[in-house]
A and B are shown apart, each in its own frame.
Chain A
């Protein structure tokens, strides 16, 4: 057992597991747990197949930057859409049921075209895909960490397999710890109002999307993965400012329509008198 390799892999993998688990958690709470867990399972199977087929050659064969770009772009598109709707709802420019109606309409259209599983009413393709993409990307990153840490610490063939085994154990411990902590926070999270959760999900998806898309283009974020917190803070502040601005716009429009109303009424009275 190479403790240095195991410890390094533990911390590096923990960051990736937290990222993947965060998205699975929010999908579970906001969409449903069935879709979130099915997406996670599907990603784990895909990952296992990739690792079993390619082994250590995975590092050479999987274009991680392309994957980051594609998944980052999709997350960004999802995230911006959620964030926009959440901001509009907070500003009072969108009724809570509007989005639900659009979502149901889209789902009905997809079902009609065979795009969703109609036999399973609780399955949500959106949630499944979000979980799948995130777990697959982060899982691949964990696999990369295990392989590169394990191989780079080795000086011989024997120590190479020992290094990979140590790194795997470190990563496994990190994964189990993250799942345990996640299971504990699951219950309190479910009590948060739906609107607030959707707002937070929008911020998070936009944050992860920006981060991964940037990494796909070779951006080296300051403080590495810790920059995710700064990015989330930037988007949170921007979203709050946008809500304040939209509320002002709404007030101004309401005032303008109030000012216009008496004139209209006077004109109508005049017309009636004539």
Chain B
């Protein structure tokens, strides 16, 4: 368990970023593999950029409004 935690801290160290990127990946996979979503495939790029910025904003908000700071 400590090894997993160390690797997690080493690579990411932030749960909000991990969840944000994982959600973006899942959404992109969904958009690319569901035929009904084919018309919005052209928006994958802008969606990815927005998802990255949203993850960054979310993790910074958490730090800024944390009661510890």
Residues of A within 8 A of B (CB): 73-74, 76-78, 80-81, 83-84, 87-88, 91, 93-94, 102, 105-107, 109-110, 113, 115, 125-126, 206, 210, 213-214, 217-221, 231, 234-235, 238-239, 242, 246, 249-250, 253
What are 28 sample pairs from A and B whose C-beta atoms fall under 8 A apart?
A73-B25, A74-B11, A77-B18, A80-B56, A80-B59, A81-B12, A83-B56, A84-B63, A87-B60, A93-B64, A94-B63, A102-B9, A107-B10, A115-B10, A126-B10, A206-B52, A210-B49, A210-B52, A213-B25, A213-B28, A214-B45, A214-B48, A217-B28, A217-B44, A218-B41, A238-B53, A242-B57, A253-B69
How many residues on the B side are at the interface (Cβ–Cβ under 8 A)? 35
Query: B52, A218: Cβ atoms under 8 Å?
Result: no
Query: B17, A77: Cβ atoms under 8 Å?
Result: yes
A-B pairs, 10 with minimum CB distance:
A109-B6, A219-B45, A106-B9, A217-B28, A80-B17, A249-B64, A219-B44, A113-B3, A77-B12, A106-B10
Bound CA span A182–B30, Å: 40
Query: Do most interface residues of chain A lie in helix, strand or loop, or is the interface mixed?
Result: helix
**CB-CB contacts below 8 Å: B46-69 with A:** 48-49, 52-53, 55-57, 59-60, 63-65, 69
Least CB distance from A152 to B in Å reads 27
Task: Kindly list chain A residues whose C-beta atoms are within 8 Å of the C-beta of B14.
Answer: 80-81, 84
Least CB distance from B41 to A in Å reads 8
Task: Kindly list chain B residues whose C-beta atoms are within 8 Å of the C-beta of A206.
Answer: 52, 56
Q: Which residue of chain A lies nearest to B53 when distances are taken between CB atoms in the complex? A: A238
Bound CA span A235–B60, Å: 14
Query: A221, B45: Cβ atoms under 8 Å?
Result: yes
Task: Kindly list chain B residues whose C-beta atoms are within 8 Å of the C-beta of A91.
Answer: 64
Bound CA span A80–B69, Å: 21
Task: Kindly list chain A residues whose C-beta atoms are within 8 Å of the C-beta of B5.
Answer: 109
